[in-house]
């Protein structure tokens, strides 16, 4: 097994656009002229999403044409309109006779409390991300959907750290599996291979860690107005051939990567979601791809916090 760039996958173009001053952005994945089969698994209690019903096994659509990860919470769902326009202009989508309708799925994270709460990803920003995808401008760190991402928010924004978007991909023989994830978790981030905490809830000194999970377990009091500025959203890609029902299972297995790297995870205050996409025709065991999906997702989460830079008054791994 060897590490490969996330840009190694055929039929995949990744573009990012952001408003750095406002602390928000979007990342667009274009899935080729004919689209690609995709599945979705949602474990968090508060997702902001668009067209998720398309990915249920009983839905008629067998492929989609793009995925958008963005900030802006529910407001940012407007961004998909720019991807629709970009793809329609290029004749990509489901043929309905009078035009072609692109099938675009989207998930958003909450970054409204980072800088400017009233500037969100919109159609123009997502269209620019599509243009950027043609040149391939993807970078790990505080870009795209990761621009306003933060982690360790159990005690609010005064104790959190800056995060971002991260990627990791591997190849085993002809099989490729990779992940891209925007990490905006309520919980802390760990290196699952060493067990060492990498980022998360900070003590009052701003330099040492508190344990979010242990702190949460100190009281069973019901909290009706729990802090909800969170959500980790990601995509697993493979060049193996699967239909969307199997991809839904692979996405579910990839959630183990969230559980390995984020504690606590899948809370009611998160909208944790993972897409899985088939981009090729390699014959591979579904469980092997799912296990690799969990591995690359955990590694991509770690990379997201390691690549982030301090911003908006929040320290990052590089500044501790």
Q: What angle do CA 87, 245, 232 make, to 5 degrees?
A: 65
CATH domain 2-310 topology: 3.60.70
Please report, in tens digits, the pLDDT of each residue of the chain (320 residues total): 999 999 999 999 999 999 999 999 999 999 999 999 999 999 988 899 999 999 999 999 999 999 999 999 999 999 999 999 999 999 999 999 999 999 999 999 999 999 999 999 999 999 999 999 999 999 999 999 999 999 999 888 999 999 999 999 999 999 999 999 999 999 999 999 999 999 999 999 988 999 998 888 887 776 665 555 678 999 999 999 999 999 999 999 999 999 999 999 998 878 899 999 999 999 999 999 999 999 999 999 999 999 999 999 999 998 88
The two tokens of residue 237 are: 């890609």
b/e 3-14 (16+ beta carbons within 10 angstroms → b)? eeebeebebbbb
Query: Would you list the domain boundaries of the chain?
Result: 2-310
User: What's this model's pTM, rounded to 2 decimal places?
Assistant: 0.96
- Burial class from Cβ neighbours inside 10 Å (0-12, 13-18, 19+) for residue 87 reads buried
């Amino acid at each position: 097994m060897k590490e490969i760039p996330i840009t190694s996958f055929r039929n995949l173009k990744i573009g990012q656009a952001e408003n750095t001053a406002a602390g928000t952005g979007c990342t667009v994945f274009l899935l080729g002229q004919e689209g690609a089969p995709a599945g979705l698994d949602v474990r968090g209690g508060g997702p902001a999403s668009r067209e998720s019903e398309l990915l249920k096994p009983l839905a008629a659509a067998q492929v989609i044409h793009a995925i958008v990860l963005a900030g802006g919470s529910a407001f940012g769902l407007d961004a998909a309109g720019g991807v629709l326009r970009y793809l329609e202009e290029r004749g990509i989508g489901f043929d309905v006779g009078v035009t072609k309708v692109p099938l675009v799925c989207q998930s958003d994270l909450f970054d409204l409390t980072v800088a400017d709460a009233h500037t969100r990803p919109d159609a123009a920003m997502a269209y620019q991300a599509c243009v950027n995808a043609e040149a391939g401008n993807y970078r790990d760190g505080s870009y795209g959907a990761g621009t306003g991402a933060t982690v360790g928010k159990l005690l609010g924004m005064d104790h959190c750290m800056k995060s971002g978007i991260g990627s990791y991909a591997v190849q085993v023989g002809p099989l490729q599996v990779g992940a891209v994830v925007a990490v905006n978790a309520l919980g802390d981030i760990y290196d699952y291979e060493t067990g060492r905490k990498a980022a998360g809830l900070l003590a009052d000194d701003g330099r040492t860690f508190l344990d979010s999970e242990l702190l949460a377990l100190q009281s069973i009091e019901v909290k009706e107005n729990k802090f909800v500025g969170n959500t980790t959203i990601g995509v697993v890609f493979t060049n193996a051939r699967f239909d969307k029902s199997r991809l839904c299972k692979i996405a579910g297995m990839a959630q183990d990567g969230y559980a390995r790297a984020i504690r606590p995870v899948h809370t009611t205050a998160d909208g944790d979601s993972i897409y899985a996409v088939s981009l090729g025709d390699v014959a591979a065991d579904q469980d092997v791809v799912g296990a690799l999906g969990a591995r690359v997702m955990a590694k991509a989460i770690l990379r997201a916090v390691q690549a982030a830079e301090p911003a908006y008054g929040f320290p990052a791994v590089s500044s501790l």
